[in-house]
């Protein structure tokens, strides 16, 4: 037997509140999923794309400059190591040019 009187109003009110509560919970769940996805995209950007962009635009040119400076320092070190031999060759060429080479010294 269905309720008669004030109980029926209470049951209808409870039913309406339950439906409203269910709609709110579904909205909250959808909102939570949406913002969770947005957070995931944001953190993927921050963790993957942002460092790659920073490396490409800021760090890579600095590393290239450092490599060029290091290569220049290595070339300079090689030139300094070869300096005594180069000076000796240039001196011999100079002496040979003016006739003071090894051929005139042996006579």
The pLDDT tens digits of the residues spanning 6-49 come to: 788 889 999 999 999 999 999 999 999 999 999 999 999 999 99
Per-residue pLDDT for 106 more than 80?
A: no
pTM (whole model) above 0.85? no
- 30: tokens are 């959808």
Residues 6+ positions from 2 with CB-CB distance below 8 Å: 8
């Amino acid at each position: 037997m269905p309720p008669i009187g004030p109980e029926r109003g209470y049951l209808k009110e409870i039913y309406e509140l339950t439906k409203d509560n269910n709609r709110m919970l579904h909205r909250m769940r959808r909102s939570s999923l949406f913002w969770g996805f947005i957070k995931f995209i944001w953190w993927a950007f921050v963790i993957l794309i942002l460092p790659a962009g920073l490396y490409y635009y800021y760090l890579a040119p600095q590393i290239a400059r450092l490599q060029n400076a290091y290569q220049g320092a290595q070339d300079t070190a090689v030139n300094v190591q070869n300096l005594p031999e180069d000076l000796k060759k240039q001196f011999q060429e100079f002496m040979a040019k003016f006739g003071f080479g090894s051929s005139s010294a042996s006579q």
